Structure 1
């Protein structure tokens, strides 16, 4: 073992531990704002590509009268819609119900909440897979110029940023608030 015995912990998984970020009492607020910024960035990136597509001109060197070879169509919107539905489903779930806390009375409530969570993540994973598929099949394999492949890259980045936003928001909502008090007797 390369680590000194004083630093060795048998429960440790990684050789180099993850950095410990201490955001103080405002970590929940910072997480929520970061998730909101990622959400806005995700949707703005795709809307930027859709607006550029609507006002696109023919590639340089083609006759000025010809239309651009490709536009953002409904097929490009479907992965983003799936990711957005998954994002909404994931954030509608009560975190205590998934953990089985609070004794909800119905023994199947935890199972249904976990199934609902799985469906939300499946929507998001399907959106990401769909956006990569659209990028490859519609933009890369057809050999469009770089100004048109940006539409596909924007679609993939929207799905990735929505997934990151959902993860950050989930973690931020799972931490205790600065206004929560834990009273135990």
Structure 2
């Protein structure tokens, strides 16, 4: 069962209100389904919106934020739990430990870097958790076409692209998380110590 979901999204709200509307719905949906929201701990942009959506619906929200950002008072002040970690690398490791699945909402370079790292770890067998793109208003259409191109050109095995969950309906993403089947990994990779640390 998928009990906790890491959400990666923009620290800006975007120029179209559809992004914030859907981010709020993500938070509310997770809370109403009794799932814990794991996210980057910020109060600005879509990050703040998704956290507020979950909190206002009575949900459990865990934030993970680097010291440098917390010191600039960018941390959300009303979370269930807030983990302040040393740096961005430690943030991603902690979020990976806490979450059962990962989803990218609209965002910029940071959002892409976070979801791609988790997807890469899934391919390598570092973890066996599903990754998804919440494709709000076609936001990820061009990126998804590019990912298909990487399979055509021989850089990504088709099974890894097929394992990515993509939908413009968040409830459908949650359903597919529960039905996820782990693809065969690239090769055997020893478990890394830092993924076992509590």
Fold equivalence (TM over 0.5)? no
Larger Rg: 1
TM-score (norm 1): 0.23
The structure whose RCO (Cα within 8 Å, separation 6+) is larger is: 1
Higher strand share: 2
TM-score (norm 2): 0.22
